[in-house]
A and B are shown apart, each in its own frame.
Chain A
Amino acid sequence: MHKFRTVFRQVYLKNLRSGAFIWMVLAPIVIAVVGGLVGYFIFKSQENTKMAIVTSQTELRATLKQVKVSDLTIKKAITTTTAAQKALSQEKIDGYAEVTIVKNNLHVNYVSRTDGQSLPVTELNAQFTQLNLQFQAQRLKMSATQLATLLQPVQTKQKSVSFKDGKQVSRNDNQRAVNVMLATATAVIMMMFIMSYAGMIASEVASEKGTRIMEIILSSVDVKTQFLGKICGIFALIITQLLIYGVLFIGGRSLVNQIIAKQYPQIKALLGSLQLPSIWSTQILMTVAFFIVGILTYTILAAMLGSLVSAVEQVQQVIMPITLFALLAYFIGLMAANGTDSVLVKTSAYIPLIAPVVMPVRLATEAAGTSEAVISLLISAGLMVLLYFAALALYRANVLVYSDGNVWQSMRHSFNILTNRKRKN
């Protein structure tokens, strides 16, 4: 136990302090913060379109003051065509509407600068049409009730639905967009972490082997303890990383709720309308479980492959097969994120090594339910355990075999050692 603890602590602390781990923890945060800031500044820098509504008929002025379109500033001070033209030439406004009455009907003439922001003509037209109705009602001396009936818009309702665990769940379009976003992020983050952790352990093993430190270690501690110590060290790193995110998520959420939402009520309204998964939701828990199983499976494989090479420079070459596997999982994950529900996507959600990326995506897009996820998770976890024992056997045979030849030769050599050992035992 003392030796297991020593190996475990060494792997954990060495990597915890490494630049690679710190970057791995920070990368998603940095990307999110940079993305958020860019979005925020784009949002901030987009000023409202400015326009003026002018008329030569003074009796219309009061009515025209009712015009109101979101994201549009109407300069009430400009009332005459001359003033509007002057303001337009000085780029104080992007355009103006000149309203006149021609044959008892409102007539609107839009003038806008080609280099200015475009006027929201559709929204304005709708408003002017309504004003025209009001104007006609007044002219025809209609009662208020008649007017109200006349102005009554068509009653419409819109609803998008999705199905979760066989039950219909209401969703709006924003929710769908958020799901796709979450699902894509899940695939991207999974891929990133799998590659980082796989690279980390493979380099660790290869460098210990390449520098012959492995010989000293394996003359001090049995190979099973060392292998398990390494895998557990990496597992502890994953948990550390998740804990950091957990703390940031909870802290960040209260920050959003308390500060940002107060200043920007529209964000609060948007967030309120969406169903973001809460931290203890089945979806998050299942994703975390897949995250752990996925990374550990790839880590075990990477440790085994890392033990094949004789120098750390060969690591990238040797982990190529799992890189390709992870990439395959990633692309199928992206397909699933974009709503593809083909046989390929459905099947691969159960195939170990691919499932840890694809299934959480399908959970996020609500294409798969909890029970399906649990089955897939059990399959993946089962394979992980089998792989652990297979990897340990190969690792034991590999770590002290130095070969100048390529990886396949090393692998063959290791297999020979392994079968010899088996025969003898």
Chain B
Amino acid sequence: MLSLQHLSKSFGTMKAVDDVDFELHHGEILGLIGQNGAGKTTTFRMILNFIEPDQGTISWNDAPFTQSKYDQLGYLPEERGLFPKMTVENQIIYFAELRGMKRAEIRQEIPKWLSRFEVKAKATDKIKDLSKGNAQKVQLIATLIHHPKLVILDEPFSGLDPVNVSLLRDGIMDLKKQGAAIIYSDHNMDNVEQVSDQLVMLRSGKMVLHGPVAEVRQSFGRIKLYLESALTKEQLLAVPGVIAVAQQQRHFEITLADEAVGRRIFDLATANGYIPEFNQQPPTLEEIFKLKAGEPNA
């Protein structure tokens, strides 16, 4: 289990991370979200021992995360880096050897991984001759080939096309099945929603959201209403508790002040019987993200 307790870190007068506190169990995936500069990478770097927290502690399986545990770690940095002149095989071998794997073992594994991630390159091709997507997959293989127990992925999906995104998603799910604790950052809320067991949102270094994805959404109540009926925009706006109405042809996307307003609109809309659509939902993660990011700092 990875445990971060009351972690804080300042650079000069800027508080990069402020009292971050969460736990991540084996076989669990945590999505770390937040705007650029919210403190995601600093949090990762503290877990990785690159920088020391000013306050708080980090533990891995109830002990400090030290160099002796590096072999259990898989880390994909935000900015990808490979040696351009190396071959795919040598590159993977180098990184995997640094994680304590044996050469022969790595050689055996490489073809499996290349085909699993559908890398369109031979093991003997040079990195510089690969497309960006393929190079990124090679980097991922190098991150995961040693079956790490703790995986830290800094924006793993950025720059991947939808096909590769689903390949990577499958890869992450497999790791989860094998019992790895996975923490990753992302700007795509759809990914976060589909992959994560829990999420943490940082704003200016502080945790503003934390918990299982569904719970976080539910905590905002069913304040989103998707409606198709005979009602007009004006009629809808006249209902007390309706904050905003967006219209797309006959469809309305209505933001409510609270869940109860939905019942009032349902009664109005169904006064004459059948309507094709009434769908009351909690806000999407993306909407919550925008909402939280836009809030003034507490």
Q: A2-B100, A3-B100, A221-B70 are in contact. Are A215 and B50 (CB under 8 A)?
A: yes
Closest to A2 in B: B100
Q: Which residues of A contact B73 (CB under 8 A)?
A: 219-220
A56 within 8 A of B: no
Q: A219-B70, A222-B67, A400-B50 are in contact. Are A212 and B98 (CB under 8 A)?
A: no
Closest to B99 in A: A220
Closest to A214 in B: B81
CA A14 to CA B85, docked complex, whole Å: 9
Is the CB–CB distance between B82 and A215 below 8 Å? Answer: no
Q: A212-B79, A215-B77, A400-B45 are in contact. Are A220 and B52 (CB under 8 A)?
A: no
Closest to A210 in B: B81
Closest to A208 in B: B81
B51 within 8 A of A: yes
A139 within 8 A of B: no
Indicate which residue in A10, A216, A221 contacts B77 across the interface (CB closer than 8 Å): A216
CA A149 to CA B113, docked complex, whole Å: 99
Q: Which residues of B contact A211 (CB under 8 A)?
A: 79, 81-83
Is the CB–CB distance between A6 and B94 below 8 Å? Answer: yes
Q: Which residues of A contact B86 (CB under 8 A)?
A: 14
A167 within 8 A of B: no
Is the CB–CB distance between B75 and A219 below 8 Å? Answer: yes
Indicate which residue in B50, B79, B85, B99 contacts A218 across the interface (CB closer than 8 Å): B50
Is the CB–CB distance between A215 and B75 below 8 Å? Answer: yes
Chain B min CB distance to A407 (Å): 19
CA A3 to CA B99, docked complex, whole Å: 8
CA A148 to CA B77, docked complex, whole Å: 96
Q: Which residues of B contact A34 (CB under 8 A)?
A: none
Chain B min CB distance to A112 (Å): 64
A44 within 8 A of B: no
CA A24 to CA B79, docked complex, whole Å: 33
Those of B127-173 within 8 Å (CB) of chain A? 142-143
Indicate which residue in A7, A212, A214, A400 contacts B80 across the interface (CB closer than 8 Å): A212
CA A370 to CA B145, docked complex, whole Å: 56
CA A3 to CA B142, docked complex, whole Å: 16
How many chain B residues touch A (CB < 8 A): the figure is 28
Per DSSP, chain A at the interface is helix
CA A217 to CA B67, docked complex, whole Å: 12
Those of A188-215 within 8 Å (CB) of chain B? 208, 211-215
B97 within 8 A of A: yes
A65 within 8 A of B: no
Is the CB–CB distance between A213 and B97 below 8 Å? Answer: no
Q: Which residues of B contact A7 (CB under 8 A)?
A: 98
Is the CB–CB distance between B98 and A221 below 8 Å? Answer: yes
Closest to A219 in B: B75
B95 within 8 A of A: yes
The contact string, 1 if C-beta is below 8 Å from chain B, for chain A 413-424, is: 000000011001
CA A420 to CA B10, docked complex, whole Å: 12
Those of B51-106 within 8 Å (CB) of chain A? 51-52, 67, 70-71, 73, 75, 77-83, 85-86, 94-95, 97-100
Chain B min CB distance to A13 (Å): 9
CA A421 to CA B54, docked complex, whole Å: 10
Is the CB–CB distance between B50 and A6 below 8 Å? Answer: no
Indicate which residue in A221, A222, A421 contacts B52 across the interface (CB closer than 8 Å): A421
Closest to A207 in B: B83
Is the CB–CB distance between A213 and B82 below 8 Å? Answer: yes
The contact string, 1 if C-beta is below 8 Å from chain B, for chain A 400-411, is: 100000000000
Q: A2-B100, A221-B70 are in contact. Are A213 and B51 (CB under 8 A)?
A: no
Is the CB–CB distance between A215 and B81 below 8 Å? Answer: yes
CA A208 to CA B79, docked complex, whole Å: 12
Is the CB–CB distance between A400 and B51 below 8 Å? Answer: yes
Q: Which residues of B contact A420 (CB under 8 A)?
A: 52
B48 within 8 A of A: yes
Besides A211-B83, A221-B98, A420-B52, 20 more A-B contacts (Cβ < 8 Å) are: A2-B97, A3-B97, A3-B100, A6-B97, A7-B98, A10-B94, A211-B81, A212-B78, A215-B77, A216-B75, A216-B77, A216-B81, A216-B95, A219-B50, A219-B70, A220-B73, A220-B95, A222-B67, A400-B50, A424-B52
27 contacts between A and B (CB under 8 A): A2-B97, A3-B97, A3-B100, A6-B98, A7-B98, A10-B94, A14-B85, A14-B86, A211-B79, A211-B82, A212-B80, A213-B82, A215-B48, A215-B81, A216-B81, A217-B98, A218-B50, A219-B70, A219-B75, A220-B71, A220-B99, A221-B98, A222-B70, A400-B45, A420-B52, A421-B52, A424-B52
